[in-house]
């Protein structure tokens, strides 16, 4: 990759979604000189891997949003895609504008509660302000409850306790084991022990039964949380929700509904082409691939989709996707973390070293000509 290719004038790639997958595809297309338009509802790429640190440390959010326009100039369009016309090969924006494509990369990712995700129509400044507001709410609260003990909830609880050891932090999780099911049991056990050592209170195997009624991310004294099994009522000053993610299928549901799995993700073949469509690719969290949904895998898939688009227009063979072995790192505050690389357990030092400079995600800063978070 990297040299400017000469392709037929009819080639125009539209990428829907500028998350880890979409921005990786855009970087590749840009460096190969392939005409493209990247569409996202925000005007900045959100490095949500740092979203939970940005929730406790003032000034950090600014490092996690990178302006698309500065990186992709006229190849970026801010807008919400509301439909795809497969016949005419157009993507329809909420503003009624239509974008023609010869090839389409769908990278709409997944959505989940703030602060782990920030998939909203927003400017960079407004997004940063929302994180700064949360930092201030955290400061006010004496007892913070984090609901959901998947990887995001675990990281959130650890970030809070690391920066505010004097605050009471409770993590409520519906299952007994914490974090991602794809992690080795010993990794999950180790992170549980670190959280307990830090002083996070764990309430496991219980659901919050009145979650819908609670106001999230806003300090409010004596907010009552009810549990489904235990009669105990937990009183908190601030509730942060880190429960499950959902695939963002709204914009392709009508056109490609018959290609969707139960969770809304798009079924793809080994070349990452959506079933039955040789010019439409799905990558990242919205692709129906086995294994965990991860930022670095989204980037790998996007790189392959671009390679396959280039190969298809230059008459070369397409390359199949190989998922490889799992690398997953959970940071538990600035000072600790656990994870696994190629099935091997890695402890605090390695995780903080990798995640602070972030070999997996830091790449995007270099690619997009920006500085990575320190
Ligand atoms: C708190 C947290 C921490 C994480 N930490 C890690 C980690 O350390 N390492 C790791 O590898 N993974 C991590 N992940 C997982 C990682 O964030 C996801 O796998 C990754 O974001 C997927 O990238 P994506 O590009 O597929 O989708 P997303 O990042 O979800 O991006 C999708 C983009 O599409 C845009 N979009 C959606 N619909 C439309 C539409 N209709 N019109 C226009 N734009 C649209 C959205 O605005 C968004 O920018 C973490 C996830 C969370 C929640």
The 10s digit of each residue's pLDDT in 256-291 is 999 999 999 999 999 999 999 999 999 999 999 988
Asked if the model's pLDDT at residue 181 lies above 60, the reply is yes
pLDDT of residue 369: 42
Percentage of residues in the chain with pLDDT exceeding 70? 92
pTM greater than 0.75: yes
Asked if the model's pLDDT at residue 87 lies above 90, the reply is yes
Buried b or exposed e, range 228-238, using 16+ CB within 10 angstroms: eeeeeebebbb
205 HSE (CA, 13 A, CB side):
3
The rounded Å distance from CA 107 to ligand 1 centre is 9
How many Å apart are CA 290 and CA 322, to the nearest integer?
Answer: 11
Q: What is the DSSP string of 200-263?
A: -EEEES--BTTGGGSPPSS--TTEEEEBSS---EEEESEEEE----EE--TTTHHHHGGGB-TT
Indicate which atom in ligand 1 lies nearest the CA of residue 22.
Answer: 25
How many Å apart are CA 166 and CA 187, to the nearest integer?
Answer: 27
Verify whether ligand 1 is closer than 6 Å to residue 358 (CB atom).
no
**Helix, strand, coil percentages in the chain from 3-state DSSP, rounded to 5:** 35, 25, 45
pLDDT of residue 332: 87
Q: In the predicted model, what is the mean pLDDT of residues 106-125?
A: 94
Verify whether ligand 1 is closer than 6 Å to residue 251 (CB atom).
yes
Indicate which atom in ligand 1 lies nearest the CA of residue 330.
Answer: 8
Indicate which atom in ligand 1 lies nearest the CA of residue 284.
Answer: 26
The rounded Å distance from CA 234 to ligand 1 centre is 32
How many Å apart are CA 344 and CA 207, to the nearest integer?
Answer: 32
The rounded Å distance from CA 21 to ligand 1 centre is 8
The rounded Å distance from CA 231 to ligand 1 centre is 37
The rounded Å distance from CA 91 to ligand 1 centre is 21
pLDDT digits 0-9 by tens, 222-231: 999 999 999 9
The rounded Å distance from CA 223 to ligand 1 centre is 30
The rounded Å distance from CA 112 to ligand 1 centre is 9
How many Å apart are CA 26 and CA 48, to the nearest integer?
Answer: 18
pLDDT digits 0-9 by tens, 5-16: 778 889 999 999
Verify whether ligand 1 is closer than 6 Å to residue 66 (CB atom).
no
Indicate which atom in ligand 1 lies nearest the CA of residue 115.
Answer: 1
Verify whether ligand 1 is closer than 6 Å to residue 150 (CB atom).
no
pLDDT of residue 349: 65
pLDDT digits 0-9 by tens, 313-361: 999 999 999 987 778 888 888 888 888 887 788 877 666 766 664 433 4
């Amino acid at each position: 990759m990297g040299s400017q290719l000469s392709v037929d004038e009819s080639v125009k790639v539209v990428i829907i979604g500028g998350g880890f997958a979409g921005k990786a595809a855009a970087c590749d297309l840009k460096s190969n000189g392939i005409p493209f338009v990247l569409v996202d509802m925000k005007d900045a790429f959100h490095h949500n891997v740092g979203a939970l640190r940005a929730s406790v440390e003032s000034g950090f959010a600014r490092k996690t949003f990178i302006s698309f326009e500065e990186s992709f100039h006229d190849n970026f369009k801010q807008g919400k895609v509301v439909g795809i016309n497969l016949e005419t090969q157009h993507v329809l924006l909420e503003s009624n504008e239509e974008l023609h494509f010869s090839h389409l990369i769908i990278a709409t990712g997944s959505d989940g509660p703030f602060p782990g995700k920030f998939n909203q129509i927003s400017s960079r400044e407004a997004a940063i302000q929302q994180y700064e507001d949360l930092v201030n709410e955290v400061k006010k609260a004496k007892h913070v409850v984090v609901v959901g003990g998947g990887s995001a909830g675990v990281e959130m609880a650890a970030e809070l306790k690391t920066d505010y050891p004097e605050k009471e932090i409770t993590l409520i999780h519906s299952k007994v084991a914490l974090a991602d099911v794809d992690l080795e049991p010993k990794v999950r056990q180790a992170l549980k022990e670190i959280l307990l050592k830090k002083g996070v209170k764990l309430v496991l195997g219980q659901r919050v039964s009145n979650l819908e009624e609670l106001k999230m991310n806003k300090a409010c004294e004596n907010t009552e949380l009810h549990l489904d099994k235990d009669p105990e009522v937990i009183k908190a000053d601030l509730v942060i929700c880190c429960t499950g993610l959902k695939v963002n299928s709204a914009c392709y549901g009508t056109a490609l509904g018959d290609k969707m799995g139960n969770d809304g993700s798009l079924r793809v073949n080994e070349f990452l082409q959506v079933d039955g469509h040789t010019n439409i690719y799905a990558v990242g969290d919205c692709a129906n691939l086995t294994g965990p949904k991860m930022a670095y895998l989204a980037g790998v898939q996007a790189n392959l989709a671009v390679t396959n688009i280039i190969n298809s227009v230059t008459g070369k063979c397409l390359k199949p996707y190989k998922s490889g072995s799992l690398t997953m790192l959970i940071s538990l505050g600035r000072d600790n973390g656990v994870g696994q690389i190629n099935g091997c357990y890695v402890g605090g030092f390695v995780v903080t070293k990798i995640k602070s400079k972030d070999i997996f995600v830091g790449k995007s800063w270099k690619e997009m000509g920006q500085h990575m978070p320190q």
